[in-house]
Amino acid sequence: MSQKVSHQTALIYVMVLVSAADSDMPDRELGAIGTIVQTLPVFRDFNPENLVKIAEDCASTLSGENGLEDVLAIVKGSLNSKFRETAYALACDVAATDDELPQEELRLLEMIRHTLQIDRLTAAAIERGAAARYARP
């Protein structure tokens, strides 16, 4: 699939992928996506009213025959190197909102890391930062 989307849409796709990884999109993860879109500078000129439509488009692509591979290809083709680490960081942030990481989310994070060519040391730093930000007592 050679479709390209804006970098903001690609970042949202990554977050939706992680949230849907275990076939459940908990309110905590959806809330985190909304907060991220409303607060991070990368989404400064993004209209949050488009979030639901973009999430639905991602879900529609995911439901296709090669859904996961297609979404990952769209994300990779739509993000320049500047935003690939951002995408992985956002994926980790969404995953970290859960009390535990299901095996499906861990596997998907690994696939995202490989697809976006994030080196292991950088990935470990990003993962540790997400764990620290979302730590609970």
Tell me which of 101 and 5 has the higher pLDDT.
Answer: 5
CATH class of residue range 7-133:
mainly alpha
Residue 1 clears pLDDT 90, i.e. is over it = no
pTM score:
0.92
What are the φ and ψ backbone dihedral angles of 125, each rounded to 5 degrees? -65, -45
Mean pLDDT of the chain: 91
Q: For residue 54, which of 73, 29, 37 has the smallest C-alpha distance?
A: 37
pLDDT digits (tens, 9 = 90+) for 15-44: 999 988 876 666 778 888 999 999 999 999
State the pLDDT at residue 2: 63
**Do 97 and 29 touch, CB atoms closer than 8 A?**
yes
Whole-Å CA distances, 89 to 2, 17, 39, 67, 137: 24, 13, 15, 22, 22
Percent of residues in the chain assigned helix, strand, coil, to nearest 5:
75, 0, 25
At 98-118, the pLDDT tens digits run 777 878 889 999 999 999 999
Whole-number Å distance between alpha carbons of 75 and 55: 13
Domain boundaries defined on the chain: 7-133
